[in-house]
Amino acid sequence: MKILFITANRVGDAVLTTGVLAWLADHYPDARFTIACGPYGAALFRAVPRLDRLIVMRKKKANLHWVDLWKQCVGTRWDMIVDMRNSAVSRLLVAERKFFHSRGSGAHKIIDNAAVIALLLDGAPPPDPCIWLAADAAGAAETLVPAGPPVLALGPAANWPLKQWPVTSFIELVGELTAPGGAMSGARVMIVADGHERVQIEPLLRAVPDDRRIEIIGRDLQTAAACLNRARLYVGNDSGLMHLSAALGIPTLGLFGPGFPAVYGPWGKNCVCVTTPESRAELMARAPAIVTPQSTLMDTLSVARVAEAAQMLLNKTA
């Protein structure tokens, strides 16, 4: 059985489609998968079971990347196509069955994604996201995050500056949680970010002592996932890393302001989110005309509120 799975381009959205992919892998044990995805999240799919091909779609002018995908897939008669991007390409390919993502309903993305294969689910609850860890990534994580005191993982960046909690607040939070008597007293601090984000989070890196700081910066997503999998708690902005942590089953605390927590909140029984006192509409009304890397709409979310939520999540998952 041959299944073509076309997933999202952005990391967070791609992670949120993995529940559907995992369900297909479990329920069609003889299926072989071809997965088409964007370059940013591609590493997450390289350990998918029974993977025949991983097609990385790099954006081209005039949408020619879709033409490239069609060329790579047109010679195959597919048993099933699951298109999480509702593309025209899938309509031009031959397949026994086709399933397409439709416009969002306003429900959580996990629910909307599950609706794509609702006929197959037959009333079952939406499948949870799933991350397959490659053996080499797990091995690298053992070196990067060796056994020792518990690990507090932080995701201090996001793809939009206005969604970023101030770095100074992350620094205060580390002091609150890891100080003697804190909820994670003596914990090591893992800071996860892209290579180009190092400059903006440099104050946080400097604030954590060398012997307690673990830098996972500029690593591929497989390695980042394997390292996150060794954390006791993750606290981070509304971002792909937040969804990655949640999909791994790590207790995950998402920080929200101008985002959409009802649609994009971290998914799972070990996940919670905290939001700014103001609504999204109120925040956007004061959004700066020119957004810089230092801009934020998250400054009214207090460290005390985040620390309290972290403590409650730690107690719940003890």
Query: 142-188, pLDDT tens digit by residue?
Result: 999 999 999 999 999 999 999 999 999 999 999 999 999 999 999 99
CATH superfamily of 143-316: Glycogen Phosphorylase B; (3.40.50.2000)
pTM metric for this prediction: 0.97
Band of the pLDDT at 56, cuts 50, 70, 90? very high
Cβ 224 vs Cβ 281: under 8 Å: no
Q: What is the pLDDT of residues 144-154, one digit of tens each?
A: 999 999 999 99
Count the helix, strand and coil residues of the chain and give each as a percent rounded to the nearest 5.
40, 20, 40
pLDDT of 63 over the 90 cut: yes
Backbone phi and psi for residue 144, each to the nearest 5 degrees, phi listed first: -70, -35
pLDDT of 103 over the 90 cut: no
106, 108, 126, 264 from 111: Cα distances, Å: 10, 5, 6, 11
Band of the pLDDT at 104, cuts 50, 70, 90? confident
Beta bridge partners of 36: 6, 55
Chain centroid to Cα 244, Å, comes to: 3
Residues of each domain in the chain carrying CATH 3.40.50.2000? 2-121, 143-316
HEC readout, 289-317: CCCCCCCCCCCCCCHHHHHHHHHHHHHHC
CATH number assigned to the domain with residue range 2-121, chosen from the 4 options 3.30.2000.10, 2.50.20.10, 2.60.40.10, 3.40.50.2000: 3.40.50.2000
As a whole number, the mean pLDDT across the chain is: 97
Q: What is the pLDDT of residues 130-140, one digit of tens each?
A: 999 999 999 99
pLDDT of 97 over the 90 cut: yes
d(CA 314, CA 318): 6
Hey, what are 258's tokens? 């101008």
